A and B are shown apart, each in its own frame.
Chain A
């Protein structure tokens, strides 16, 4: 009896420690259709020898800081927002990278020394056409108008883009949003506008959740990453409609975590940020590449988006389409890097009240 227990136990312990022959790189991204596009575009095609494990997260530097602080870094490459790229680089969480390969090929200059380019994407409102048989919401004002368009709204659990959208809904011009936000009264004004929908919101933190909330009828409209909406329309045949007015355009970068598997992480990031990789990704999700040469590859290759039974033109679904840019707020990552902490605190309290 004793022997048996002892043997089993030892066996298990040995198994637990030896069998964790694990991947060389852990790549952390936002899940769903987005991760799937990264997988197909440049993870599956990566053949430099490192095996790659994909993890999902919901943004924020919390987990990264916790890992660095505990001295136990298990994430190697992370897909981050631009304000987090700035903060993380300043606080020494990320590795500095050599940007010479792409620096002159970018639509906008990179936000910090630690990043390689990914995509432009947008926070966009959308709805299921079936939910509004009569009049359909068309603008950010309509999204914030619960009298005219009753029903719950799905919004994300952090303040980025919500502040901008609230101001647009309150009549601020898209180009003037950050001027207003830089005054304390501007922030009060945004929160006052948010108060008007407070009793009508359902929060989400994972990118695929808003699609599910709208599909299941749990909410009538939601904010989501435009690519997820596009993927649902294009690949799954969902009858969703974008509300491009008041869309907030954001950038997305890859970074390598200090203390992780740095060398292999950087090699992988170089592969993930080539013009070809960036263009390839748009075959699976409508996000705009940051490299000028990628956009050219796509334009030449249209119809670019891959679908069974005939590919589709992708450019009209891009958040960087000129038609969209006219109505969009271009997010200012520096504003968020400097003021994000205070606004987030206030937003956390707003959410809890």
Chain B
């Protein structure tokens, strides 16, 4: 934003120092995420920028940790190379996708109900449905650990999928409800008066309009599950290794730079998801005729 010509020197200094301050905050937000990218290519077994590494000496740079990540050992490895990272990746996707599908289905249907003008106890129900997002994970994990072990759901994929579904639904409810505000209910009436039944109306009229909201809600649910470690730690067993659990174990047990490699992959994934959600949000706003920001 250009400054008007009548601003005084003092105001200019003020404005530029404000911009500088904001720049620092953005740097604070973003820098740590990118600092790990180069480090994942370092040959050092510790999280450090060695002098050799900074001078781009070839032997200080290595793909060794990436090889370990995919389960290939190289000469000079002092720790056991396992296939756990790949196993974790597979499990994370299985649990994440299953939880997302469940959460999206349940959440979308519930959001349709919540957006109806006749919904009774709307506030209370909404508060209950959002609560899994608000209650600290450690409490959720403790409760689930006690209860799920009683009913035999601990140490199983099913238990984790159910738990992650519960954690993911608030996001779906929020995004789909948001898409439904400003939804023109006349469209439903029009469709029904033209002879479409409820299901047909849902898939042909409602769904295309709320789809962006459903997908971004689903992506939120997915990333929630994909990133979740506390519940996995307490409800899952050794079999249910997921990426975050493996990272957590790595940080607590043997700090291996493989963690940085996986972190780099996850950053790439989050950039992809973020881009998708942003594009969807704009599409949704365009579809609903809400004008873009500014």
Q: Do A and B bind each other?
A: yes
Judged by a CB distance under 8 angstroms, whether B46 is at the interface is yes
- Most B C-beta atoms less than 10 A away, residue of A31, A69, A205, A235: A31
Chain A residues with CB under 8 Å of B253's CB are 31-32, 56, 58, 206, 208
Q: What 1/0 mask marks residues of chain A from 215 to 242 whose CB sits below 8 Å from any chain B CB?
A: 1100000000000000100011000000
A206 touches B254 (CB 8 A): yes
Q: A residues 270-306 with Cβ under 8 Å of B? A: none
Judged by a CB distance under 8 angstroms, whether B80 is at the interface is yes
Judged by a CB distance under 8 angstroms, whether B238 is at the interface is yes
**Given B94, B101, B238, which contacts A5 in the complex, CB threshold below 8 Å?**
B101
Q: What 1/0 mask marks residues of chain B from 38 to 64 whose CB sits below 8 Å from any chain A CB?
A: 000000011110000000000000000
B48 touches A31 (CB 8 A): no
Judged by a CB distance under 8 angstroms, whether B124 is at the interface is no
Judged by a CB distance under 8 angstroms, whether B118 is at the interface is no
A75 touches B101 (CB 8 A): no
Q: B residues 25-46 with Cβ under 8 Å of A? A: 45-46
The answer to whether A74 and B46 touch (CB under 8 A), given A8-B97, A16-B94, A16-B98, is: no
Judged by a CB distance under 8 angstroms, whether A334 is at the interface is no
Chain B residues with CB under 8 Å of A55's CB are 238
Chain B residues with CB under 8 Å of A69's CB are 149
Q: What distance in Å separates the Cβ of B198 from its nearest Cβ neighbour in chain A? A: 14
Q: A residues 18-62 with Cβ under 8 Å of B? A: 20, 22, 26, 31-33, 35-36, 39, 53-56, 58
Q: Which residue of A lies closest to B237 (CB)?
A: A74
Contact surface of A with B, Cβ cutoff 8 Å = 1, 5, 8-9, 12-13, 15-17, 20, 22, 26, 31-33, 35-36, 39, 53-56, 58, 69-70, 72, 74-75, 205-206, 208-209, 212, 215-216, 231, 235-236
Chain B residues with CB under 8 Å of A17's CB are 157
Chain A residues with CB under 8 Å of B155's CB are 70, 72, 74
Chain A residues with CB under 8 Å of B252's CB are 58, 205-206, 209
Q: How far is the CA of A35 from the CA of B253 in the complex (A)?
A: 11
Q: Which residue of B lies closest to A208 (CB)?
A: B254
B98 touches A12 (CB 8 A): yes
A13 touches B98 (CB 8 A): yes
Judged by a CB distance under 8 angstroms, whether B249 is at the interface is yes
Judged by a CB distance under 8 angstroms, whether B82 is at the interface is yes
Judged by a CB distance under 8 angstroms, whether B203 is at the interface is yes
Q: What distance in Å separates the Cβ of A14 from its nearest Cβ neighbour in chain B? A: 10
A208 touches B255 (CB 8 A): yes
Beyond A74-B239, A216-B48, 9 extra complex contacts between A and B, CB < 8 Å = A16-B161, A20-B157, A31-B254, A33-B79, A36-B80, A58-B252, A69-B149, A72-B154, A216-B46
Q: How far is the CA of A75 from the CA of B105 in the complex (A)?
A: 36
Q: How far is the CA of A9 from the CA of B101 in the complex (A)?
A: 7
Chain B residues with CB under 8 Å of A15's CB are 94
Q: How far is the CA of A242 from the CA of B60 in the complex (A)?
A: 29
Q: How far is the CA of A74 from the CA of B241 in the complex (A)?
A: 13
Chain B residues with CB under 8 Å of A216's CB are 46-48
Judged by a CB distance under 8 angstroms, whether B78 is at the interface is yes
The answer to whether A70 and B154 touch (CB under 8 A), given A16-B94, A31-B254, A75-B238, is: yes
Q: Which residue of A lies closest to B102 (CB)?
A: A9
Q: What distance in Å separates the Cβ of B238 from its nearest Cβ neighbour in chain A? A: 5
Q: How far is the CA of A12 from the CA of B158 in the complex (A)?
A: 11
Q: What distance in Å separates the Cβ of B131 from its nearest Cβ neighbour in chain A? A: 25
Q: Which residue of B lies closest to A33 (CB)?
A: B78
Q: How far is the CA of A7 from the CA of B253 in the complex (A)?
A: 39
Chain B residues with CB under 8 Å of A8's CB are 97, 101
Chain B residues with CB under 8 Å of A32's CB are 79, 253-254
Chain A residues with CB under 8 Å of B249's CB are 56
Q: How far is the CA of A35 from the CA of B79 in the complex (A)?
A: 8
A236 touches B255 (CB 8 A): no
Of all A-B residue pairs in the complex, the 4 with the closest CB atoms, nearest first, are: A16-B157, A70-B149, A206-B253, A31-B253
Q: How far is the CA of A26 from the CA of B157 in the complex (A)?
A: 18
A36 touches B79 (CB 8 A): yes
Chain B residues with CB under 8 Å of A5's CB are 101, 105
Q: Which residue of B lies closest to A32 (CB)?
A: B254
Q: How far is the CA of A219 from the CA of B64 in the complex (A)?
A: 28
Chain B residues with CB under 8 Å of A208's CB are 253-255
Q: What distance in Å separates the Cβ of A55 from its nearest Cβ neighbour in chain B? A: 5
- Most A C-beta atoms less than 10 A away, residue of B46, B79, B98, B238: B238
Q: What distance in Å separates the Cβ of B163 from its nearest Cβ neighbour in chain A? A: 14
Chain A residues with CB under 8 Å of B152's CB are 72
Q: How far is the CA of A36 from the CA of B78 in the complex (A)?
A: 8
Chain A residues with CB under 8 Å of B149's CB are 69-70, 72
Q: What distance in Å separates the Cβ of A223 from its nearest Cβ neighbour in chain B? A: 17
Q: What distance in Å separates the Cβ of B253 from its nearest Cβ neighbour in chain A? A: 4
Q: What distance in Å separates the Cβ of A237 from its nearest Cβ neighbour in chain B? A: 11
- Most A C-beta atoms less than 10 A away, residue of B80, B94, B95, B154: B80
Q: How far is the CA of A54 from the CA of B87 in the complex (A)?
A: 14
Chain A residues with CB under 8 Å of B238's CB are 26, 53, 55, 74-75
Q: Which residue of B lies closest to A69 (CB)?
A: B149
